[in-house]
């Protein structure tokens, strides 16, 4: 288990909160603050390839503390034109057999923890610019009659209605039997001094492409 810490910003390089204290409830009773989402991990997550619509979405690793999990997401405009973005990532989880897992997606993650409820804003990313978001969940088993869920594969679309692409995981998304996954809204990232990575050959999207908003 990684060292607990207060969530200051997101792995994505943008501040998602001023201070974050996990929400308490009768089901969990947890009070320890969550770790920085996407803090460096021992496992290396492969860089995403550039999609046909000119973006690449990458998972930035999972941080964990006392049952609370946070995973950073990064969206890079690897195309040659501006890319407009507003809203929340649209995510789908699959089990070890590749079958979809029924999960309640919570924009803002308020029932899970505080600090991720900033509203979406319109972002226009120039080529090479990035946006960041986070996935938040709790690994809790509160009902022995409900089978615990582990997401082994993750598909992410920039927003609902756009193509979804596979995002590599460095470990399972272990929801316990909560059946809930929170998502934060996309926010612009500060420029990376090292510069954007070189995109690879794009894979086909998991849904039919649509025109960006």
CA dist., res. 173 & res. 155, Å (int): 12
pLDDT value at residue 203? 38
Burial category of 68 from C-beta neighbours within 10 Å (exposed 0-12, middle 13-18, buried 19 and up): buried
Q: Which residues of 165-198 are buried (b: 16+ CB within 10 A; e: fewer)?
A: bbbebeebbbbbbbebbbbbbbbbbeeeeeebee
Question: 104-107 and 130-138: which strand pairing?
Answer: unpaired
Q: Which residues of the chain have pLDDT under 70?
A: 1-47, 192-213
pLDDT value at residue 113? 85
Please give the distance of CA 141 from its chain centroid, rounded to a whole number. Answer: 22
pLDDT value at residue 185? 95
Write out pLDDT tens, residues 31-51.
344 444 434 443 445 567 899
pLDDT value at residue 178? 87
Q: DSSP secondary-structure letter at 13?
A: S
Alpha carbon separation from 58 to 1, 4, 16, 105 (Å, rounded)? 22, 23, 18, 19
| 128 token code pair | 């090479």
Could you tell me which residues come within 8 angstroms of residue 43 by beta carbon, excluding any fewer than 6 positions away? 61, 170, 171
């Amino acid at each position: 288990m990684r060292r607990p810490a207060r969530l200051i910003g997101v792995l994505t390089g943008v501040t998602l909160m001023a201070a974050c204290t996990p929400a308490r409830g009768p089901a969990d009773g947890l009070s320890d603050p969550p770790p920085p989402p996407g803090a460096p991990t021992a496992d290396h997550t492969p860089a995403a390839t550039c999609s046909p619509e000119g973006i690449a979405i990458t998972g930035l690793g999972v941080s964990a503390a006392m049952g609370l999990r946070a995973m950073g997401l990064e969206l890079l405009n690897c195309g040659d034109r501006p890319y407009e973005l507003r809203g929340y990532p649209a995510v789908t989880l699959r089990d070890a057999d590749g079958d979809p897992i029924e999960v309640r997606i919570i924009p803002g993650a308020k029932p899970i923890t505080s600090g991720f409820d900033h509203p979406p804003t319109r972002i226009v990313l120039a080529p090479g610019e990035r946006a960041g978001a986070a996935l938040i969940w709790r690994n809790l088993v509160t009902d022995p009659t409900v089978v615990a869920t582990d997401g082994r594969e993750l598909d992410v679309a920039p927003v609902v209605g756009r193509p979804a692409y596979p995002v590599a995981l460095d470990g399972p998304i272990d929801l316990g039997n909560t059946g809930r996954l929170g998502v934060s809204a996309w926010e612009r990232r500060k420029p990376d001094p090292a510069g954007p990575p070189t995109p690879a050959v794009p894979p086909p999207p998991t849904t039919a492409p649509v025109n960006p908003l």
